[in-house]
């Protein structure tokens, strides 16, 4: 019997969703969280990490996955204080492993984390969801706005400078800097027995003229080849990679699962529109463009024993909250994933 390690993202004490609520979602055994009040690049205080863990555990939940330890832009650009920030990153891996963390999710997306054109697009059934309409994103000026996943501390001028720096770095430059970072941190992850799972770029194509590289099978192969060890792995996010129809998600689950490189799975569905834009949908296969049952079947067959979580949910039943991270639709997602998994287990 493979016991699914079902987790749920929790934004710490500031989250409007409580640990009491999370504890009551069937099958959820742990939360995925982070220390949120430390600037990227710095070391997380031991007391903050311990305090977070104590809080989580006092509610009968585990804290074995951290999402994310952010990678400072100086590391991605290999400039300024990158050496110091990499040392700090290593120290964070050590400190987190010391309290029992087994998996760290991070990303290497220049400047912007996930990007959407609207966070509350009304859908037919009266719910609302995050959407990415290409024509609207083309009109967005990132120096004049911010999204919840983005670092809002830049002035418009700093933002413009950063974007220019990435434009001149280009894709190959970014690969080099990622390789350097990986060669530095993975030995520490191995020593601490922590799995590092990179999150793919969301969406998986360049935005605002800056490169994005963790986007498809070919690039993921190249990424995994940077260090041949299972501690160097993936947070396989179906909704991010799935926006490109060329990405065959069940195939990727099978391939990377068999290679023992998936340490964390983010499960959600998206509906791809005619021009390649997409809307986030309910988790069910019939709600979107991905066949979630096939995705889970492929993962199950590999004997997957890593961590999993439902990903973004829509806002339903009048809920208001952090875009993508309300309680209800994500809880339904968890129940759905658990249902499929139990069926797979029992029909083995
Ligand atoms: C979006 C999330 C991402 C993810 C980071 C990981 O909701 O999946 O923001 O946490 O990219 O570093």
Q: CA 202, CA 197: separation in Å to the nearest integer? A: 15
Q: Report the percent of the chain where pLDDT is more than 70.
A: 99
Evaluate whether 202 touches 240 at the Cβ level (below 8 Å): yes
Put the strands of the sheet holding 118-122 in their side by side order. 118-122, 128-132, 278-280, 270-272
Ligand 1: which of 108, 115, 147, 199 to mutate, most ligand atoms within 8 Å of CB?
A: 199
CB atoms within 10 A of CB 95: 19
Q: Which atom of ligand 1 is nearest to the CA of 106?
A: 12
Residue-level pLDDT at 2: 62
159-168, 224-233, 283-292: segment of lowest average pLDDT:
159-168
Residue 155 has, within 13 A of its CA and on its CB side, a CA count of 2
According to DSSP, the β-strands at 128-132 and 195-199 are unpaired
Catalytic residue among 263, 311, 329, 336: 311
Q: Is the dihedral of CA 155, 158, 164, 165 positive or negative?
A: negative
Q: CA 261, CA 225: separation in Å to the nearest integer? A: 11
Residue 347 Cα to ligand 1 midpoint, Å, equals: 33
Residue-level pLDDT at 142: 84
Residue 107 Cα to ligand 1 midpoint, Å, equals: 7
Nearest CA to ligand 1 atom 2: 114
Residue 38 has, within 13 A of its CA and on its CB side, a CA count of 21
Nearest CA to ligand 1 atom 6: 106
The pLDDT tens digits for 289-327 are 999 999 999 999 999 999 999 999 999 999 999 999 999
**Interval 74-97 mean pLDDT:** 98
Nearest CA to ligand 1 atom 12: 106
Residue 113 Cα to ligand 1 midpoint, Å, equals: 7
The SS3 call for residue 19 is: helix
Is the per-residue pLDDT at 271 higher than 90? yes
**Interval 54-70 mean pLDDT:** 98
Q: Provide the CA 210 distance to its chain's centre, in angstroms.
A: 20
pTM of model > 0.85? yes
Residue-level pLDDT at 141: 87
Task: Give me the numbers of helices (H) and strands (E) for the chain, helices first please.
Answer: 11, 12
| Sequence-ordered alpha helix ranges (H) in the chain | 19-23, 46-57, 73-77, 82-98, 134-139, 156-192, 217-224, 238-241, 249-258, 292-301, 328-346
CB crowding 243-262: b at 16 or more within 10 Å, else e: bbeebbbbebbbbbbeebbb
325 a catalytic residue: yes
The pLDDT tens digits for 223-232 are 999 999 999 9
The closest alpha carbon to 96, from 189, 184, 198, belongs to 189
5-9, 206-210, 251-255: segment of lowest average pLDDT:
206-210
Residue-level pLDDT at 5: 97
Q: How confident is the model at residue 147 (pLDDT cuts 50, 70, 90)?
A: confident
């Amino acid at each position: 019997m493979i016991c699914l390690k079902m987790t749920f993202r929790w934004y710490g004490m500031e989250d409007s969703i409580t640990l009491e609520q999370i504890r009551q979602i069937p099958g959820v055994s742990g939360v995925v969280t982070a220390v949120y009040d430390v600037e990227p690049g710095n070391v997380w205080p031991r007391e903050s990490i311990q305090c977070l863990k104590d809080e989580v555990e006092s509610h009968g939940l585990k804290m074995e996955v951290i999402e994310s330890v952010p990678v400072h832009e100086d590391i991605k650009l290999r400039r300024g204080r990158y050496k110091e920030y990499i040392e700090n990153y290593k120290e964070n891996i050590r400190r987190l492993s010391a309290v029992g963390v087994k998996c760290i999710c991070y990303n290497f997306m220049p400047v912007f984390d996930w990007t959407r054109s609207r966070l509350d697009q009304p859908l037919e059934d009266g719910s609302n969801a995050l959407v990415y309409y290409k024509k609207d994103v083309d009109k967005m000026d990132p120096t004049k706005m911010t999204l919840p996943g983005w670092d809002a501390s830049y002035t418009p001028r700093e933002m413009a400078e950063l974007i220019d720096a990435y434009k001149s770095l280009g894709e190959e430059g970014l690969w080099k800097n990622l390789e350097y970072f990986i060669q530095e941190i993975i030995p520490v992850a191995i020593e601490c027995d922590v799995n590092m799972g990179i999150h793919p770029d969301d969406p998986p194509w360049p935005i605002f003229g800056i490169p994005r590289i963790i986007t498809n099978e070919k690039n993921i192969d190249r990424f995994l080849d940077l260090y041949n060890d299972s501690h160097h792995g993936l947070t396989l996010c179906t909704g991010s990679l799935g926006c490109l129809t060329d990405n065959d998600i069940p195939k990727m689950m099978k391939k990377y699962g068999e290679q023992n490189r998936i340490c964390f799975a983010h499960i959600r569905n998206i509906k791809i529109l005619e021009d390649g834009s997409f809307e986030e949908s309910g988790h069910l296969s019939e709600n979107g463009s991905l066949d979630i049952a096939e995705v889970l079947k492929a993962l199950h067959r590999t004997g997957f024993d890593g961590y999993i979580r439902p990903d973004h949910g829509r806002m339903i039943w009048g809920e208001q909250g952090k875009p993508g991270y309300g309680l209800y639709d994500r809880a339904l997602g968890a129940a759905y994933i658990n249902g499929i998994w139990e069926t797979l287990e029992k029909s083995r």
